[in-house]
Structure 1
Amino acid sequence: MAAAESGTELVKVVVLLAAGVIAVPLFKRLGLGSVLGYLAAGLAIGPFGLGFFSEAQTILHVAELGVVMFLFVIGLEMQPTRLWNLRRQIFGLGLAQVVVCIALLTATGVLAGLAAPVAFIAASGFVLSSTAIVMQLLDESGDTSTPRGQRIVSILLLEDLAIVPLLAIVAFLSPAPAGEAVSRWVTVGVALAAVVGLVAVSRWLLNPLFSVLARAKAREVMTAAALLVVLGAALAMQWGGLSMAMGAFAAGVMLSESTFRHQLEADVEPFRGILLGLFFMGVGMALDIPLVLQNWPLLLGGVLVCMAVKGIGVYAVARFTKAAHGEALQRTMLMAQGGEFAFVLYSAAATAGIVEARMNAVLTAAVILSMALTPLAVLSLRWLMPPEPAQNMDGIEAADDLKGTVLIIGFGRFAQIASQLLLARGVDIAIIENDTDMIRAASHFGFKVYYGDGTRLDVLHASGAHHAKSILVCTDDAKTTTHIVELLKHECPLVPVLARAFDRQHAIELLRLGVDYQMRETFESAMGFGMQALATLGVDPEEVAQVAANIRERDAERLQLELAGDKDGARNFFQGNKWIPTPLTQPQREGRALNEEAADAIEEPLQPAAATPLA
């Protein structure tokens, strides 16, 4: 009997995996995206489809761990300083969107004949966009790390935080016993204690724990520890009455500056992907088909109206905050749906007696329908907005198992000149670049350049980063360079990394990451230019060389002071006039002080011109 039951459970697992394996590639091939594929697969095998599963809610609860792990990975990318920089977007832009959309949807519900408390609850749940769907769609389009993507992430974070006060409002709207007020304050205290405890553990205990595990050199234990951190943080927040997803996000943020960040991300990634797909399939299973068929004109019309009203609110807030039309339209299509937290809010309202059971089922079905319509809404952007031209990959090879002695990342003007010295000495170099036009242009001059994005760990492995004797990071974007250096110093700590810096502050940032050598992109050319200017004035060549050596020495010393955080020492560093052989008049001294102060404050302010092969 037990063997038969075990076999039945195994059949369910096989059916679940097979549905995803078949549906997702098919839907992606049709251009409909993986999310819609998972939803369709869940609908097909669920209680209202082929009937392989009867308890969709059970699967949904398990699959919520996918959302939890997704937010943990997002948290790992959000250093506290970066999160602090987004505070205005989170508590300004995010709060504005939530308030405006709740007001619009509540008014719509009241006009439709709902009681004010029910309309408010229905609106509040629909306003909380699906973090899982939006982040998956952003990830597929490659917009997660872009400024527009970061603004959407900020809004999603505020919406996830909003579930806490919204649940409190549901509790206060419910008819409560006289002594219930005290227990509510206890609940708030427990929630705060959970947050403080999580921050304390993440900040002071996890790094020593992972250091011990790393010395043990047991990879499977590191993976188990990564899962323990994610699930433990989620459980702590759940016990505190808060969102599991927010607990995982907070743990990720606390570990974002850990030396084990990339290892944690790699360990959690496979589980995150599988469970997130399972979550979407659970949402598809939970759609009550008989209810939809019975009320489909009203339900579909209501969903479209709610998505349209929320979309108007999202677009209006985006335009009011100076977003471009294209960005506002993308945000509208991505965030017009309800989300997974709506299920929690509606369930709590039904338990509290604010919403009837049938109304709860209708609202839940409406949210699921809106989630299913979101990928289609995003696809409509292809007709509403002109698509960006795709890169033509004809005749271009992707980086795969390269073995160069020196790896060069980025092949603009800077790298083209630097590579000539290596080639002249017969050094074997491997070059990767993500601009196909640059790759083709370089091929006309005899360079073999491979296509590859240096910010991706798998591409660095395929490019032979671990086997190289030296790596030159020559990308022309400061943030990209910083990210690549950070990856390389973590993954290939024994390989010397040389990096092109944009300006002084970027050079300091690279030095703090442990780069072995950095060069500001205009420093040496400007030095040569200045030396030639002195020569044209008739200054003796030996004196020109001495002045240049003095400036280089003092620049290096000032850079070390700034690196050590001695701002006053760096600011007053020009005092002394060591390299001026003749006394200065008072106007000369005043003019010199002003010029040096300006040079200290503003260095190399202009971006380099567009790259030209072999400039």
Structure 2
Amino acid sequence: MVSTQLIQVAVFLAAAAIAAPLGRFFRMGAVLGYLAAGVVIGPYILGPLYQLNNVESILQFGEFGVVLLLFVIGLELRPIRLWAMRSAIFGLGTAQLVATSLVLAAIGLALGLNFGQALFIGLGLSLSSTAFALQVLEEKGEINTRHGRLAFSVLLFQDLAAIPLIALVPLFAAGGSEQPAMDLRAGVLAIVTIIGVIVAGRFLLSRLYRIIAATGVREAMTASALLTVVGVALVMEAAGLSAALGSFIAGALLADSEYRHQIEADIAPFEGLLLAVFFIAIGMSIDLGIVVAEPLKLIAIVIGLVAIKAVILYALGRWWGLKSEPARRLGLAISQGGEFAFVLFAAGVGAHVIGQHLADLLVLAVTLSMAATPLLLLTDETIFRALEPEKPEYEVPPEGDQHIIVAGFGRFGQIVARVLRARRIPFTALDSNVEQVDFVKRFGSRIYYGDAGRLDILRAAGADKARAFVLAIDDVDASLRVAEMVRKHFPDLPVYARARDRIHVHKLMDLGVEIIERETFLSALELTHRLLRGFGLSEPEAKRLLATFKRQDEKRLYDDYKYYTDLEKVRANAKTAAVELEELFARDVEELKLPEEEPALVGAERRDGRRSAGSPRKDG
């Protein structure tokens, strides 16, 4: 007979395997896919078919995914970086918690709740979902943006604040409570536990991993990483503190460890799978009975909660220096309720602060607000892209004479322009990114908003009188379009081009561009030169090896150009070139046994008669 537990595991794995791809396919995100899967396999739809009977235990198991998530986040945050974020964590985080709680409490008082209940609910709903928000921000690629970092700061402060809030629940009971919220002994125990975890982690964890790594048993490293998280979680919970906070502290203490990347790689699969279980369990916990019985009340709570938090966060983001769009994204990303609300409201029922029905209603509202987050972010992207105001008309640059035109004013073009400006060589810079133009102008640079691929813009910039044209545009298609325009209408204007890769070089050569530099080629060679010197090679030996590589790479670049559209021939040539390069290096090693002065190397390069490999010239 097939085990019921095995069937339940199979259902969960199937839900996780199907939900995430479907969610991303429909541009809703994996998290919303997990929530929807949870509703489908939950107790109201498919649950009875496979004898599902304890959603609460599944949710508790899934919460370990949140613990692992915060451990991995801690690994990414070195203590010095965490200290640098202190103003955002305690400044913006405090402002959000206080403002949101007071507004929600005021609404609760207006609806007839007593002060203790209103403030308790306001504080509970002011907390956002760390796991949910960070997962959505990561999916959107916004976790490392400024508003993503501010969102993390607010979420971290909320996690810190949730600990005393849970401990102080009895104080919110009507008429107070005879049970002290947290006596002196418990408070001292909490502080000692946190300090103990920090001290032990600081002095013991790295040494422990060093010993385990010396054994060479990879499974032991994985088990040790998981044991670290579980052990710290047990210690923190035994002291009445948050397991998630403990795991975050443990991760932060290992952020400077040489084993950080190995630990993160070992933890990642478990973190992803358990987070999926957590989100599926949240979907399963949605009480469809309340949805059917009180839909209007539920919708009003969800809309009110999300709108109030989003507006407050938007205002705080603007106050903190964000522009309108990132402030709006900040507001929407953490406008939902959080998983700590589940714990807080359950404790509130036990302390007779709120009734069971109200707690169920609020928990369901929090769950639905989580589900609304990816939809709101997707709607924001769709609507505001459609309503994005038209870009202003291109500027008309002044006519120049004997000057240089720089097309593309990103990192590459800016370096060129800075050198020209230092030498007082006149130049006109063009860029089609209006935000970039506005930003650079604030620093006094001569840059104009214009598309260098338009003939009228080029003529207005004095391309017919310019001494040179620097093609520094990053986008390959735009670069080729501009190059074609310049070579066609200004054939005598020298073009100095930046290329992204070898194929880009070949396509520019097709258009007649002769002076080309691959954007990472010379910097890679310079870094390799330093690497060889650091490895112990002498200066002449390092230079000779790199010069050999440059000559061989240039030869291969010209050979590839003859048939660069034939991928099979390019691959075959690459294999031949690799063998030839290896032979050249081996020959160099033999030659370097004899004393040879560096000037002889320079002379050899000149006799070779070729340019730098980064500056190919079209044959014929």
- Asked if TM exceeds 0.5, the reply is yes
Distance change (3 Å), C-alpha of 1:516 and 1:46: farther
Residues 446/124 of structure 1: CA separation in 2 closer, same or farther (3 Å cut): closer
CA displacement at 1:272 relative to structure 2: 0.3
Q: How does 1:462-541 map to 2 (within 5 A)?
A: 474=523, 498=530
- Structure 2 CA distance, aligned partners of 1:449 and 1:246? 49
Task: Report the alpha carbon displacement of residue 23 of structure 1 after superposing the two structures with TM.
Answer: 2.1
Tell me which amino acid in the other structure corresponds to 2:101: I
Q: Secondary structure at the match of 1:59?
A: helix
Q: What's the counterpart of residue 295 of structure 1?
A: 294
State the one-letter code of the partner of 1:211.
R
Per-residue CA deviation, residues 440-483 of structure 1 (Å, 9 max, x unaligned), is 76897982589xxxxxxxxxxxxxxxxxxxx98949xxxxx9xx
Are the structure 2 counterparts of residues 356 and 220 from structure 1 closer, same or farther at C-alpha, using a change threshold of 3 Å? same
| Contact 2:314–2:328 under 8 Å retained in 1 | yes
4+ residue runs of structure 1 moved beyond 6 angstroms? 413-416, 438-446, 514-517
For residues 16-35 of structure 1, give each alpha carbon's deviation from its aligned partner in whole angstroms, at most 9, with x where no partner exists: 11112122211211111111
**Pairs within 5 Å for 1:33-432:** 33-51=29-47, 52=50, 53-174=52-173, 180-181=179-180, 184-386=183-385
Matched AA of 1:41: A
Offset of residue 183 of structure 1: 6.1
Task: Using the TM superposition, name which of 145-154 and 10-19 deviates more.
Answer: 145-154
Matched position secondary structure for 1:205: helix
Aligned to 1:506: none
What is the Cα deviation at residue 117 of structure 1? 1.6
Moved more, 315-324 or 435-444: 435-444
Alignment of 1:507-586 (within 5 A): none
1:11 aligns with 2:50: no
Q: Does 2:476 align with 1:437? A: yes
Q: Is the 8 A contact 1:497 1:516 kept in 2?
A: no
Go from structure 1 to structure 2 and tell me whether the alpha carbon gap of 1:474 and 1:169 turns closer, same or farther (over 3 Å shift): farther
- Matched-pair contact (CA < 8 Å) for 1:226–1:267: yes
Deviation at 1:278, TM superposition (A): 0.6
Which whole-Å deviations, capped at 9, do the CAs of 1:155-207 have from their partners, x for residues lacking one?
Answer: 110011110221233132347775x4496222212211210111011100011
CA offset at residue 613 of structure 1? 9.0
1:387-446 C-alpha deviation (Å, 9 max, x unpaired): 899xxxxxxxxxxxxxxxxxxxxx969999xxxxxxxxxxxxxxxxx9653997689798
Give distance in 1, aligned partners of 2:37 and 2:54.
Answer: 15
Contact 2:476 2:500 in 1 (8 A): no
CA contact (8 A) 1:66 1:279 kept: yes
Asked whether the 8 Å contact 2:147–2:329 carries over to 1, the reply is no
Q: What is the percentage of aligned positions where both structures have the same residue? A: 37
Number of equivalent positions: 428
Q: Which amino acid aligns with 2:365?
A: A
Does the aligned pair in 1 maintain the 2:168–2:181 contact within 8 Å? no
Structure 2 regions of 5+ residues with no counterpart? 389-410, 417-472, 481-496, 506-519, 538-613
Distance in 2, Cα, partners of 1:128 & 1:57 = 21
* Cα distance in structure 1, aligned partners of 2:138 and 2:187: 35
Q: Which runs of 5+ in 1 are unaligned?
A: 390-410, 417-433, 451-470, 476-480, 486-495, 500-510, 518-611
1:443–1:449 CA contact under 8 A, matched in 2? no
Q: State the distance in 2 between where 1:446 and 1:129 align.
A: 44
Sort the Cα spacing of 1:260 and 1:176 in 2 relative to 1 into closer, same or farther, 3 A.
Answer: same
TM-score between both structures, scaled by the size of structure 2:
0.64
Structure-1-length-normalised TM-score: 0.64
**Cα distance in 2 between the residues matched to 1:388 and 1:256:** 43
Query: CA separation of 1:208/1:170 partners in 2, compared to 1, >3 Å: closer, same or farther?
Result: same
- CA contact under 8 A between 1:334 and 1:378: conserved in structure 2? yes
State the alpha-carbon separation in 2 of the partners of residues 473 and 56 from structure 1.
59
- Residue 438 of structure 2 is matched in structure 1 by none
- 1:516 to partner: Cα distance: 9.2
The 8 Å contact of residues 75 and 253 in structure 1, kept in 2 or not, is answered as yes
CA gap of 1:117–1:435, structure 2 versus 1, over 3 A, is farther
Q: Deviations over 1:241-291 (max 9, x none)?
A: 111111111001000000000001000000000000110000000011011
How much does 1:303 deviate?
A: 1.2
CA distance in 2: counterparts of 1:326 and 1:338, whole angstroms: 22
Q: How far is the alpha carbon of 1:220 from its aligned partner?
A: 0.2
Greater Cα offset, 368-377 or 262-271: 368-377
Q: Write the letter of the residue equivalent to 2:56.
A: Q
SS at match of 1:318: helix
Residue type of the partner of 1:447?
R
Match of 2:437 in 1: none
